[in-house]
Structure 1
Amino acid sequence: MTFSLRREEQVDIDQLHQLIEHSPGKAAQALLAAAAQNVVEAQLLLGQILLDGRGIEQDPALARTWFGIAARQGSSMGHNMLGRCLEHGWGGQADLAAAAAHYRAAAAAGLDWGQYNLANLLATGRGVGQDHAAALHLYQQAAHAGHAKSMNLLGRYLEQGLACAADRHAAMHWYRLSAEAGDFRGQFSHAAILAEQGHMEQSLVWLQKALEQGNGNFLRAAVASLEQAEQPQIQAMAGAYRQRLEQVSRQATESLHSRV
């Protein structure tokens, strides 16, 4: 599979995605060539594989540079990913205020990830003044656009009555949609509601799905929550979550050592 370097010929981004899956080293070479020709989609993909170290040496600083180039060309995802780098200190110093500015640009362009990430900063008051009403509005926008993580957080706002009238029925609706859309936190929230309603078999199914997909931070919090559950069947899941957490932590340590 080859990619022309001539500016007048379009790069097939779908082919590049496939190449990343099957031959990441070749994909990295193709992405470097396409990114240098100002193909925004290639710049974004290149930034991502540089963050991940997939098919190319991991280089978060260079990833941040390419996301910045894409953002300056007007890419909403470029703004979002540059915001991520600035929020988490990937490839340079963290700057939450600057991250919020880039998320805001992405959100204003209608990008659901930008809406979600800006809402998270507003909800916690990091880099911006805390504003639950603004966060709720952004979660609503992203949730209605089909963003699974925002669906779960919209459910939480509705359940807790944050910046809105509490509406448990609506919260349950959004938790279910989030779970069905594949968000592990939404699956956990949905499972909790099902357990409260006495639907143990269904609850355990969703807890298993969340267990298989969840990251370390989620698993750590989930263990504590499951241990405090009133239902013995739910409490029993804490052991499985703890084992999975140990496995995820071990894999993260091994991955870190392999890059040293």
Structure 2
Amino acid sequence: MSYQLRREEVVDLAGLQAMLEHSPGQAAQAILAAAGQGVVEAQLLLGQILLDGRGIEQDAEVARRWFQIAAQGGNGMAHNMLGRCLEHGWGGAVDLAQAAIHYARAADSGLDWGMYNLGNLLATGRGLPADQVQALACYEKAAHLGHAKSMNLYGRYIEQGIATACSPARALRWYRRSAESGDFRGMFSLAMVLVERGELEAAGRWLDKARLSGNGNFLRSALASLQAAGPMMTTHALAYAQALKASDPL
């Protein structure tokens, strides 16, 4: 039975998100009803649950359409999610140029995720010409807004002197902020700097935390760095190798 949203009913999005935990099907019907009545935040949430197949049949193509509808209302996160669909080919063709446009609109709305994603395209020259100065500006803005992944990348630009003055001390501070904010790549960046400083015990704690929270792609790249670091990292390299194998047994 479909959920009918009464005209006088107030849409409690926080309540609907909580309902997804224990009654996902019922929550999905309520979200669909609210989205159909033009509630932009519900349209955005509907797109997300369609991507995830949560409480509703997974359908990336329809999810993309709802993100597009929500974006027409100027929602920054909707622009960001539409950009992700376009970047990764979720629900349709990859179009990096259009992804960049939507990330830019999300960034212009003040959304840190939009800044981060636009920075990634600028840094790699995908969808628009590579521009390290503008990529740095995106990461810097998002970092100052508290975006943990951007803190790590901002620190990397500073550490390596990319489009800005090299400052290991400043980079270390941003790596630490990223790590303490929960980003596993930031944890790893901080750990490797601490290794260089000879602070092996503190480095080991951050390496362990990064290993336990990182995904397969991260574990693979981190393992290569640990193996290149020499004998002092052998124990951690073995632990990362085991974690990588467990994450991708095939």
Q: Is the 8 A contact 1:228 1:235 kept in 2?
A: no
Partner Cα separation in structure 1 for residue 95 and residue 7 of structure 2: 35
Partner Cα separation in structure 1 for residue 241 and residue 7 of structure 2: 52
Partner of 1:240: 239
Residue type of the alignment partner of 1:243: Q
Deviation for aligned residue 1:9: 3.0
Partner Cα separation in structure 2 for residue 73 and residue 6 of structure 1: 22
Moved more, 26-35 or 141-150: 26-35
Partner Cα separation in structure 1 for residue 125 and residue 244 of structure 2: 29
* Percent of paired sites with the same residue: 62
In the alignment, is residue 173 of structure 1 matched against residue 196 of structure 2? Answer: no
Partner Cα separation in structure 2 for residue 119 and residue 168 of structure 1: 22
Q: Is the 8 A contact 2:5 2:30 kept in 1?
A: no
Partner of 1:140: 140
Partner Cα separation in structure 1 for residue 32 and residue 158 of structure 2: 45
Partner of 1:258: none
Which digits, 9 at most, give the CA deviation of each residue in 1:151-198, with x for residues without a partner? Answer: 000000000111111111110010000000001100100111111112
Q: Structure 2 vs 1, CA of residues 22 and 202 (structure 1 numbering), >3 Å: closer, same or farther?
A: farther
SS at match of 2:38: coil
TM, length-normalised to structure 1: 0.91
Deviation for aligned residue 1:8: 4.2
Q: Is the 8 A contact 2:187 2:207 kept in 1?
A: yes
Partner of 1:98: 98
Q: Is the 8 A contact 2:47 2:66 kept in 1?
A: yes
Contiguous gaps of at least 5 residues in structure 2: none
Partner Cα separation in structure 2 for residue 246 and residue 58 of structure 1: 29
Give the paired residue count. 248
Partner Cα separation in structure 1 for residue 179 and residue 148 of structure 2: 8
Residue type of the alignment partner of 1:86: L
Moved more, 191-200 or 241-250: 241-250
Partner Cα separation in structure 1 for residue 36 and residue 234 of structure 2: 54
Partner of 1:160: 160
Partner Cα separation in structure 2 for residue 41 and residue 163 of structure 1: 37
Partner Cα separation in structure 2 for residue 159 and residue 7 of structure 1: 56
SS at match of 1:166: coil
Deviation for aligned residue 1:25: 2.3
Partner Cα separation in structure 2 for residue 202 and residue 37 of structure 1: 53
Partner Cα separation in structure 1 for residue 215 and residue 7 of structure 2: 41
Partner Cα separation in structure 2 for residue 246 and residue 47 of structure 1: 33
Partner of 2:80: 80
Q: Is the 8 A contact 1:5 1:33 kept in 2?
A: yes
Partner Cα separation in structure 1 for residue 57 and residue 4 of structure 2: 24
Q: Structure 2 vs 1, CA of residues 200 and 231 (structure 1 numbering), >3 Å: closer, same or farther?
A: farther
> In angstroms, what is the RMSD of aligned CA positions?
1.5
Partner Cα separation in structure 1 for residue 154 and residue 7 of structure 2: 44
Partner of 2:198: 198
Partner of 1:17: 17
Large movers: runs of 4+ above 6 Å: none
Contiguous gaps of at least 5 residues in structure 1: 254-260
Which digits, 9 at most, give the CA deviation of each residue in 1:36-62, with x for residues without a partner? Answer: 111111111111111112222211111
Partner Cα separation in structure 2 for residue 142 and residue 244 of structure 1: 30
Residue type of the alignment partner of 1:104: A
Partner Cα separation in structure 2 for residue 240 and residue 16 of structure 1: 40
Q: Is the 8 A contact 1:50 1:58 kept in 2?
A: yes
Deviation for aligned residue 1:135: 0.6
Residue correspondence of structure 1 range 45-60 to structure 2 within 5 A: 45-60=45-60
SS at match of 1:114: helix
Partner of 1:188: 188
Deviation for aligned residue 1:19: 1.3
In the alignment, is residue 27 of structure 1 matched against residue 35 of structure 2? Answer: no
Residue type of the alignment partner of 1:167: S
Deviation for aligned residue 1:211: 1.0
Partner Cα separation in structure 1 for residue 6 and residue 29 of structure 2: 15
